[in-house]
Structure 1
Amino acid sequence: MGAQQLINDYFKAFNAGQTDRMLELLHDDVEHHVNEGKIRKGKELFAQFNAHMTHCYHEQLTDLVVFSNEAGDRAAAEFVVNGTYLNTDEGLPDANGQTYCLPAGSFFSIRDGKIARVTTYYNLSDWMAQVTG
């Protein structure tokens, strides 16, 4: 499977809420670099992050564009996050079903045909403004 197909499959699983499928696409030693917070290493911490996110947010990604280098070991994606804030996330404003629409991007390293690094960026100030109205 090529890099672009791997990344497209990852986001297809995300949009379908198939977190187990997302985990299948990850290298055992995956590093998850989140926009705000510490680097999470390994599939178990990635799974815990997904469970937390599923509890607090419902998100669908649209306008996905995936890029990859010729070697197939690096990729990037640009997309729009269309979300609903379901349950209050610690340290953030109270949730009451607010919706948001946020441009974002992710960068990937690929090793042994699996995603070995996921780095995601978005504008937290923009999200905060949208959910606090």
Structure 2
Amino acid sequence: MDVINRYYAAFNAGDINGMLDCLAEDVVHHVNEGQTREGKEKFRAFCEHMNRCYRENLTDIVVFSAEGGTRAAAEFTVNGTYLQTDDGLPEARGQTYKLPGGSFFSLRDGQITRVVTYYNLADWTAQVS
């Protein structure tokens, strides 16, 4: 799935605009342990917040797609550094972390319309505490 590969290449480059180019205007973003956000501007705000608090690079990315091209999934390893304390989470002191993650996607006309991301928050918390 070309659009998923472009999305993750932009993520790893820290290129928020590149990620947004992969999304439909009405994208729905389901955040792990967070609220659902609708639309590109809310997605942008989320990414800007994440880039302030975390530096992450995804490796071992494997993309799966369903017949018909309307749904896809990916699993990956998150390699990160906790840069700035995020609300309600442990204090940031430049800790590094590594954990498995995954995302599910809905697709329409070559664009991502839904992103659902999962990782183990308890694992992350234990690594940075």
Q: TM class, shorter-chain normalised?
A: over 0.9
Give the TM-score of the pair, scaled to structure 1. 0.96
Give the TM-score of the pair, scaled to structure 2. 0.99
* RMSD, aligned CA: 0.4
- The total of aligned residue pairs comes to 129
- Measured in 2, the distance between the counterparts of 1:124 and 1:104 equals 10
Partner of 1:109: 106
- Measured in 2, the distance between the counterparts of 1:106 and 1:125 equals 18
Partner of 1:19: 16
Q: Give the drift of 1:70.
A: 1.3
Kindly report structure 1 stretches of 4+ aligned residues shifted beyond 2 Å: none
Partner of 1:74: 71
Amino acid at match of 2:57: Q
Q: Secondary structure, in 3 states, of the residue corresponding to 1:103?
A: strand
Q: Give the drift of 1:62.
A: 0.2
Give 5+ residue unaligned stretches, structure 1. Answer: none
Q: Deviations along 1:37-71, whole A, 9 cap, x unmatched?
A: 11000000000000000000000000000000110
User: Which of residues 33, 38, 44 in structure 2 aligns to 1:36?
Assistant: 33
User: Which of residues 93, 96, 101 in structure 2 aligns to 1:99?
Assistant: 96
Partner of 2:5: 8
Partner of 2:80: 83
User: Which of residues 53, 59, 62 in structure 2 aligns to 1:62?
Assistant: 59
